[in-house]
Structure 1
Amino acid sequence: MKPSNRPRILLVDDEPDLLDLMELTLLKMGLETDRALTVTDACSRLANTPYDLCLTDMRLGDGEGLEVIAAANALPVPVPAAVITAYGNAGNAVAALKAGAFDYLAKPVALDQLRTLVKSALQVPASSGQAATARGLIGNSSAMQDIRARIAKLARTQAPVHISGESGSGKELAARLIHETSNRADKPLVAVNCGAIPEALMESEFFGYRKGAFTGAEADRTGFFQAANGGTLFLDEVGDLPLSMQVKLLRVLQEKKVRKVGATTEEDVDVRIISATHQNLAALVEAGRFRQDLYYRLNVIDLLMPSLRDRAEDIPEMARFLLEKLGGRAVELERDAEKALCTYAFPGNVRELENILERALALCENARIRAADLNLVPPPPSTAAMPGSKYPLQDYLDQTERAAIIEALEQTRYNKTAAARLLGVTFRSLRYRLERLGIE
């Protein structure tokens, strides 16, 4: 049993100076740490102590960090593990992902990246049994109950899933939960931000390359598809893929084969695709910026993540959860602060809420967060009364969406199935929008 409720991290490295630096950083985040210098010691500690996360060097005196990852994943309650190594090349990153690591950092370790990695890991459920009520999908609103039920159903299928929703609404967390509760949970989940890869490098990043395929290709390299083989490939911001890459991705999804750049033969891959974007893919198809055939391949089942303002009743519970995660377990959220949060629009959703609370923790006095500590920016006072105004933005968007839905319903004589098809959304998505907008 843990001596406290604070998350505990196992740090595995044979460099005491690096261990000291990481330990100090994590302690400041309100976390507890243990350290191990060898593979043997690390595996022993994992077997005898419950951890929330393991960070391990790739090369240790008595073996490889991949052995530590394997031990962490083999536990009855698997422990999320990540690799930190001086040998930060793509081959090691892929090997770590194949072994079950959820992420990878290169030395010298940037402390902001370390903090981001740890925060991300502690939002991922430690076992599939916990995933349906996982940390991060907080709240008992009808919207969140529906999301959790949908995730449980999606995990039982192998069909591609497309997750839509605003930035910060939890799309990646939902993708991870689908993977963790699926029969692919013991295989890698590889997350790719499609908008962060230069177009010239996309093919080699996705499919890998052979030695000598181009200048600088000094050794064979596997790509994202090979790294995710047997598991799940999460394509975040898939709407940012250029058309040339969309063609190649479509072929892989159809043939279930990839060809490395410079290779003459293809390799079989078994990958479940989960995609996400904050953009409207149907609108991108209409505008000619996204292939319709790829859209239908990706959007077999859709999952719409609700915005935080659409589940305002969950905000107090979410705020308390985030405060504990930020190390403010003893901090009290005053009633005026709670009320201010519940009436705030949160354009950045949960990500913005966490940022606001982290700032408030630094500003508050006597371990009590008041409304003034939140520094919320109120909407412009005069715009609410302006007819036809585009501000506040959410009101304008709601009005536009309501008008489009009513028009589609009128055109289809209030046949909701036909209206959903006309709008380019699923029947379930339309039903959710009708409830949210109060359309009878």
Structure 2
Amino acid sequence: FLDEVGELSPRVQVMLLRVLQEGTLRRVGGERPVDVDVRVIAATHRDLPALCERGVFREDLYYRLSGATLRVPPLRERRADLEPLVARFLDEIGGARPWPTPAAWSRLHAYRWPGNVRQLRAEVVRWTVFCERAVTVDDLSPELTQEAGVTSAPSAAATVDDDPRTLAEAITEVERRVITGALAREGTLLGAARALAIDRNTLKRKLHKLGLR
């Protein structure tokens, strides 16, 4: 797996192209070429065709790598993935499992996430260091609370003037996010109910009401 292939220097691009074309490489300090038979998966956040036009990235290498391409939308275009990703990162990190409050979730959903998933994971690591259980808006990194990094996406923190929803609709949206996050984090109805400080039957009724079950 070659991550950020768009950052390769011209010299390394030539070396990689030779390996892909000839199926051989020479180890550092080695005298004989070694046959290699590999399948290459490469990733980048750069626009490789544009880099090819500018002469920054080799066009022949680009076509060698682009046999099958898959575009992964940036995190700002798939905000529904925030809760599952946070739950996954907490599982990977282990230890404390702080979870954002509704107000903090509103900020997280409104943020542009220029660093995508890596930035989100770094944010979660920060929570495990500085927070015990709840993650409030004050616990978020400064860039997440500055207006320059916030989009106009609808959120529970929207004001009455710019949010056409009724209060009931806004409350329902926040409730759905919190319950979905608890289920993703805890993995079971009973665990989610305990985390939300409600009994299991109440949680089941809310899931049915919200169309989540």
What TM-score do you get using the length of structure 2 for normalisation?
0.59
Q: How does 1:181-196 map to 2 (within 5 A)?
A: none
Q: Which has the higher contact order (CA 8 A, sep 6+)?
A: 2
User: Are residue 377 (structure 1) and residue 145 (structure 2) matched?
Assistant: yes
User: Are residue 306 (structure 1) and residue 73 (structure 2) matched?
Assistant: yes
Query: 1: distance between equivalents of 2:56 and 2:3?
Result: 17
Shift in Å at residue 236 of structure 1? 2.1
Higher percent of residues as strand: 1
**Can you list the C-alpha shifts for 1:355-388, whole angstroms capped at 9, x where unaligned?**
22333344446x222222224232249xx9xxxx
Q: Are the counterparts in 2 of residues 257 and 267 from structure 1 also a CA contact under 8 Å? A: yes
Q: Are the counterparts in 2 of residues 309 and 349 from structure 1 also a CA contact under 8 Å? A: yes
Amino acid of the residue matched to residue 38 of structure 2? V
Query: 2: distance between equivalents of 1:252 and 1:283?
Result: 24
Shift in Å at residue 292 of structure 1? 1.2
Query: 2: distance between equivalents of 1:340 and 1:261?
Result: 49
Query: 2: distance between equivalents of 1:277 and 1:339?
Result: 29
Query: Which residue of the partner structure matches residue 348 of structure 1?
Result: 115
Q: Are the counterparts in 1 of residues 52 and 59 from structure 2 also a CA contact under 8 Å? A: yes
What is the aligned-residue identity percentage?
44
Query: Which residue of the partner structure matches residue 7 of structure 2?
Result: 240
Match among 252, 255, 272 for residue 22 of structure 2: 255
Shift in Å at residue 286 of structure 1? 0.5
Shift in Å at residue 265 of structure 1? 4.4
**Can you list the C-alpha shifts for 1:18-39, whole angstroms capped at 9, x where unaligned?**
xxxxxxxxxxxxxxxxxxxxxx
Shift in Å at residue 302 of structure 1? 1.0
Q: Are the counterparts in 2 of residues 316 and 342 from structure 1 also a CA contact under 8 Å? A: no
Amino acid of the residue matched to residue 307 of structure 1? P
Query: Which residue of the partner structure matches residue 283 of structure 1?
Result: 50
Rate the CA distance shift 1:363–1:290 in 2: closer, same or farther, 3 A. Answer: closer
Shift in Å at residue 273 of structure 1? 1.3
Query: Which residue of the partner structure matches residue 185 of structure 1?
Result: none
User: Are residue 270 (structure 1) and residue 40 (structure 2) matched?
Assistant: no
Amino acid of the residue matched to residue 103 of structure 2? D
What TM-score do you get using the length of structure 1 for normalisation?
0.30
Match among 96, 116, 130 for residue 328 of structure 1: 96
Rate the CA distance shift 1:288–1:370 in 2: closer, same or farther, 3 A. Answer: same
Rate the CA distance shift 1:246–1:379 in 2: closer, same or farther, 3 A. Answer: same
Task: Give 3-state SS (helix, strand or coil) of 1:235's partner.
Answer: coil
Amino acid of the residue matched to residue 139 of structure 2? D
Q: Are the counterparts in 2 of residues 238 and 277 from structure 1 also a CA contact under 8 Å? A: yes
**Can you list the C-alpha shifts for 1:267-321, whole angstroms capped at 9, x where unaligned?**
3211111222222111111111222111101111112222111111121222233
Shift in Å at residue 263 of structure 1? 5.9
Rate the CA distance shift 1:374–1:243 in 2: closer, same or farther, 3 A. Answer: closer
**Number of residues of Structure 1 aligned to a counterpart in Structure 2:** 148
User: Are residue 368 (structure 1) and residue 134 (structure 2) matched?
Assistant: yes
Q: Are the counterparts in 1 of residues 137 and 145 from structure 2 also a CA contact under 8 Å? A: no
Query: 1: distance between equivalents of 2:37 and 2:71?
Result: 26
Query: 1: distance between equivalents of 2:12 and 2:117?
Result: 31
Rate the CA distance shift 1:361–1:256 in 2: closer, same or farther, 3 A. Answer: closer
What are structure 1's unaligned runs of at least 5 residues?
1-233, 385-440
Query: 1: distance between equivalents of 2:32 and 2:124?
Result: 53
Query: 2: distance between equivalents of 1:272 and 1:303?
Result: 16
Rate the CA distance shift 1:237–1:320 in 2: closer, same or farther, 3 A. Answer: closer
Task: Give 3-state SS (helix, strand or coil) of 1:346's partner.
Answer: coil
Rate the CA distance shift 1:273–1:380 in 2: closer, same or farther, 3 A. Answer: closer
Amino acid of the residue matched to residue 137 of structure 2? A
Query: Which residue of the partner structure matches residue 183 of structure 2?
Result: none
Rate the CA distance shift 1:262–1:275 in 2: closer, same or farther, 3 A. Answer: same
Q: How does 1:120-199 map to 2 (within 5 A)?
A: none
Amino acid of the residue matched to residue 237 of structure 1? E
Q: Are the counterparts in 1 of residues 103 and 137 from structure 2 also a CA contact under 8 Å? A: yes
Rate the CA distance shift 1:379–1:242 in 2: closer, same or farther, 3 A. Answer: same
Rate the CA distance shift 1:338–1:257 in 2: closer, same or farther, 3 A. Answer: same
Task: Give 3-state SS (helix, strand or coil) of 1:272's partner.
Answer: coil
Higher percent of residues as helix: 2
Shift in Å at residue 250 of structure 1? 1.9
Query: 1: distance between equivalents of 2:100 and 2:29?
Result: 58
